[in-house]
Structure 1
């Protein structure tokens, strides 16, 4: 078995992992970055989800490197695509003109942008990227993780990597399980957290947010691109959850706050909501006339959320069964749209909807990896609860809790998609207001283990607060702060917990973050606002 050594080992190549790697190599450290798929970027690329961002993103509210990523994506379109002159001159170009974000784009463009950001450090050998490598075991010595065993899924060979610091940037917090790091899964009890919207009764570890296999479509009227009928289409065609006011395979969407149905045909836009435009990633009118035959849109809609079982806390066979069922759900919704969906002409079906396998770079047309909303989470020195960030939970207090140990900022609603429930069936949406918030260093420190740090959605949040800390720019900020922390500790001989408890070291570390371009607090005029997109 091969063995490799570096200063910082980052397992997981999603946004948090890439940001952690960038921070560490910028501070002169040698890094190994591993990724289970063949694309870096996680939810932005292999999961095919355009970025969910807050309304101030073009001016402030993200790190300098996240802003550089956004600029690099836009520059890619300006360099390589036949944009109209008006589109090319648009300062804040949005290639898809999607509703969900001010920057909706194709996944592979983000892959290219991330590669561009990392390229200099791969060239000088500071950074080694191992694609198609999945963690299968971890070695520990007391309160330290000494090595991680990785499986090359392409060759079947294994590699053991070791480093003074190991960062878990996996989508599901895989290293927490493998290394025996104390962690939480699913929904906590209100008795444990005191949260306004937490579960009554005991905690439910298997009550986890739904996940989704996203896919991309274009539309070719007059052509027939109908896929084969999925094996379990009959089940999904008849499935109607108790909390859903119609069959799941329908045009019906649910307003989470009130669970009131609203229905809109895919090609009948209005000023408030239109499925086709919601996550559209390429808009035909922005391109030279005749270049593109259609828009491209990304399907990550309520109808393809899978909530019939969790991915963590179950054995491999059950996990794989849920993954397969989630794929069947996504394909069944596509088949329904192509064959049975009421269309705007009064008939049924849109056979011209074409699955864009090239956009996701997969044979089945689905994303390389499911869109993960909830991970295992460390038991942390400090846990962010709803009382720290929720508008209703904070009552008369204006703004979120201010943390002296802030390592970054973010903003999003507490947005929980339906969860798997706990034996009595799925649990419905939770969507409530939160204030723009900070990321406390204490939430990045495991209660016991000294040299493993979380670099994604696996930080010290709860099931509730994960709903606002799980989005693209926040995950990037978490990863960047953790990568810088590991490098700082190596430079100074400090331990992460010392940085947290020693005011002098904390000030020095926070100054380092500021120098790297990480914002630690919101402008005063923003911190008590409740805008989200």
Structure 2
């Protein structure tokens, strides 16, 4: 049963909380794990899935009560895929199973009949499907799954030399009897979730996670692993390993960067999604008290997108009755019909895009240090609560703009027309599963990204860069002018493959160097992905909704098509700590590369690798960094784990990948 709560009432929920954490009390229980997975998004589920199939004991924490991240708790239940990879069904085995189960659930892959994807569906079903997949993997692999929803990691205990996480302290929060879970927005509950003490909202259980097995005699290999698959890189921040955040400085590796120096306060925007239902009759629409603050931001963005039916059907997640055929701006769709449900995720709508040190969501290391969050017991999640609150208000306001607004910040007045035959869906049985109607957690496009260990060719630490994946040919005079002669020559040499030495020496003019037509091939590739480099840039002024505000200039320069790419194992191994692996969006990618390394199938592939490699490392008493520490020389154990991944149906390379194959233009 769906419930509608007026936006005026919802606005009264949005009040900031203080950030006071009581001292820890003794753990209520101790739990043994082979592998501790932190974060229940697709990468975390994939990690657990493969580890369970390998027979391991997996402890799995998630801040919300739903598994699936993007496809469930974040509400973006529309699979982002590229046509060729989808046509060839060239995905990890678990991701293929997910797609098959979606189709079996509905009798078709696209019950929403959306046009952005081949599969749009209800978020709650994403959670249910993934939960069942993990239970089935546990049974097939004879592993053990210990799920801990509504649980956050509060503290880490490190070894005396700082190289091993010996244990992790977590806080599990349960609702009090009088207030159901998912009543409050995240901004109202997140700081409470990281407090040890019971509150009026939650009662707490303190859990200590420790290794299941003791270290093997004479072995220095870790006896358990912690996998950070959180949405913002929480564990890498808490463990204080080197990482990047926001824009990287411009170089031959990241030539399209919008800044000559790095800017850690400008990551991609984040989004609270929500669901709305088309109705036969007009519905009462209540203007939120804060609407006027955010209304200067909202827009259809482009004239070719300025159609409410087009926007509604873009991510329509439920369509029980086919509507009449429609078309706008060259896009074909079926028009909304009563009972259709749309999930909203729109750049100039419910995206929230802060870009300054005054309003950024993900705290930098300096900000964490200044706020005391890196002190013992001080961790509170590493996010700015006020940015969450304002993003929530912005999302509520966007709904009102869709149904009642007549302004448009980018196209001017006279284009946007009211659409009163819709209602905002809220309530515990609504698509988002919350009383307030917003997603349980915002859709995160970018978080903290580790800097890998020094590696051959990258002595400052391994990273996957823009030029490793972009199809851009860089012949635009902008690059030669902006980079300068030396850096531009290095760029052309890096892209020229077998001609690199000739270009660097000057024998071949930089502008004449042939450009390779593939992504970088990594000898330690342990997964795959393919998606366009897609930007939702931060805004220049604070706050983002400032009238007349603009996107950060130059941020979209790096956007465009990418070649099918690989995930390097070195991108998953952080510095300093030997039993920590990183999956999801926090692997070692640059700001521009991260804009492609963030979608559903990539997350699964990275998680599948993390689960497989951690299980392999435990079985063979070897630390993951030892699999790559002699590259580019042969690494027999690395080859063994790559064979294992491939045998298990988890590709590490696309078909016919080699330095001699230049035929990648057909991959769309």
Secondary structure, in 3 states, of the residue corresponding to 2:308?
Answer: coil
TM-score by length of 1: 0.86
Specify the alignment match of 1:85 in structure 2.
Answer: none
Secondary structure, in 3 states, of the residue corresponding to 1:152?
Answer: strand
Following superposition, the deviation at residue 448 of structure 1 comes to 2.4
1:148-297 paired onto structure 2 within 5 Å:
148-154=168-174, 155-163=203-211, 164-191=224-251, 194-226=253-285, 228-237=286-295, 239=296, 248-250=297-299, 252-254=300-302, 261-267=303-309, 274-285=310-321, 293-297=338-342
1:27-42 paired onto structure 2 within 5 Å:
27-42=54-69
1:124-523 paired onto structure 2 within 5 Å:
126-141=144-159, 142-154=162-174, 155-163=203-211, 164-191=224-251, 194-226=253-285, 228-237=286-295, 239=296, 248-250=297-299, 252-254=300-302, 261-267=303-309, 274-285=310-321, 293-302=338-347, 303-308=349-354, 309-313=359-363, 314=367, 319-341=384-406, 348-357=417-426, 358-381=430-453, 382-392=462-472, 394=495, 396-420=515-539, 426-427=551-552, 430=556, 431-500=559-628, 501=630, 503-523=635-655
Following superposition, the deviation at residue 464 of structure 1 comes to 0.8
Structure 1 Cα separation of the partners of residues 667 and 620 of structure 2: 40
> Is structure 2 residue 127 aligned with structure 1 residue 111?
yes
Asked if the contact 1:436–1:530 (Cα under 8 Å) also holds between the matched residues in 2, the reply is: no
Question: Judging changes above 3 Å, is the alpha-carbon distance between structure 1 residues 286 and 207 closer, same or farther for their aligned structure 2 residues?
Answer: same
Following superposition, the deviation at residue 346 of structure 1 comes to 9.5
Segment of structure 1 superposing worse, 6-15 or 380-389: 380-389
Structure 1 Cα separation of the partners of residues 606 and 649 of structure 2: 13
Secondary structure, in 3 states, of the residue corresponding to 2:592?
Answer: coil
Question: Judging changes above 3 Å, is the alpha-carbon distance between structure 1 residues 481 and 234 closer, same or farther for their aligned structure 2 residues?
Answer: same
Specify the alignment match of 2:480 in structure 1.
Answer: none
Structure 2 Cα separation of the partners of residues 318 and 40 of structure 1: 21
Following superposition, the deviation at residue 136 of structure 1 comes to 1.6
Question: Judging changes above 3 Å, is the alpha-carbon distance between structure 1 residues 225 and 41 closer, same or farther for their aligned structure 2 residues?
Answer: farther
Secondary structure, in 3 states, of the residue corresponding to 2:147?
Answer: strand
Secondary structure, in 3 states, of the residue corresponding to 2:585?
Answer: coil
List runs of 5+ in structure 2 lacking aligned partners: 1-26, 175-202, 212-223, 324-336, 372-379, 409-413, 454-461, 475-494, 496-513, 543-548
Specify the alignment match of 2:81 in structure 1.
Answer: 53
What is the root-mean-square deviation in Å for CA atoms of aligned residues? Answer: 2.5
Correspondence for 1:65 among 69, 77, 94: 94
Structure 1 Cα separation of the partners of residues 113 and 155 of structure 2: 43
Following superposition, the deviation at residue 283 of structure 1 comes to 2.0
Query: Could you report, residue by residue, the CA deviation over 1:446-496 in whole angstroms, capped at 9, with x for unpaired residues?
Result: 122111000210001011100000111001100110111000000001110
Asked if the contact 2:52–2:143 (Cα under 8 Å) also holds between the matched residues in 1, the reply is: no
Structure 2 Cα separation of the partners of residues 466 and 234 of structure 1: 34
TM-score by length of 2: 0.70
Following superposition, the deviation at residue 162 of structure 1 comes to 2.3
Secondary structure, in 3 states, of the residue corresponding to 1:400?
Answer: coil
Structure 2 Cα separation of the partners of residues 109 and 463 of structure 1: 32
Question: Judging changes above 3 Å, is the alpha-carbon distance between structure 1 residues 526 and 297 closer, same or farther for their aligned structure 2 residues?
Answer: farther
Query: Could you report, residue by residue, the CA deviation over 1:176-205 in whole angstroms, capped at 9, with x for unpaired residues?
Result: 1111222111111014x6312113322111
Asked if the contact 1:51–1:472 (Cα under 8 Å) also holds between the matched residues in 2, the reply is: yes
Question: Judging changes above 3 Å, is the alpha-carbon distance between structure 1 residues 425 and 134 closer, same or farther for their aligned structure 2 residues?
Answer: farther
Query: Could you report, residue by residue, the CA deviation over 1:157-191 in whole angstroms, capped at 9, with x for unpaired residues?
Result: 22111231100011100001111222111111014
Secondary structure, in 3 states, of the residue corresponding to 2:209?
Answer: strand
Question: Judging changes above 3 Å, is the alpha-carbon distance between structure 1 residues 398 and 122 closer, same or farther for their aligned structure 2 residues?
Answer: closer
Asked if the contact 2:277–2:424 (Cα under 8 Å) also holds between the matched residues in 1, the reply is: yes
List runs of 5+ in structure 1 lacking aligned partners: 79-87, 240-247, 255-260, 268-273
Asked if the contact 2:406–2:415 (Cα under 8 Å) also holds between the matched residues in 1, the reply is: no
Structure 2 Cα separation of the partners of residues 437 and 157 of structure 1: 42
> Is structure 2 residue 85 aligned with structure 1 residue 20?
no
Secondary structure, in 3 states, of the residue corresponding to 2:521?
Answer: coil
Question: Judging changes above 3 Å, is the alpha-carbon distance between structure 1 residues 17 and 100 closer, same or farther for their aligned structure 2 residues?
Answer: same
Following superposition, the deviation at residue 231 of structure 1 comes to 2.9
Secondary structure, in 3 states, of the residue corresponding to 1:4?
Answer: strand
Structure with larger Rg: 2
Structure 2 Cα separation of the partners of residues 348 and 520 of structure 1: 49
Query: Could you report, residue by residue, the CA deviation over 1:82-111 in whole angstroms, capped at 9, with x for unpaired residues?
Result: xxxxxx6xxxx3211212211111111111
**Number of residue equivalences:** 490
Structure 2 Cα separation of the partners of residues 198 and 68 of structure 1: 37
Structure 2 Cα separation of the partners of residues 122 and 421 of structure 1: 48
Asked if the contact 2:305–2:311 (Cα under 8 Å) also holds between the matched residues in 1, the reply is: no
Asked if the contact 1:436–1:527 (Cα under 8 Å) also holds between the matched residues in 2, the reply is: no
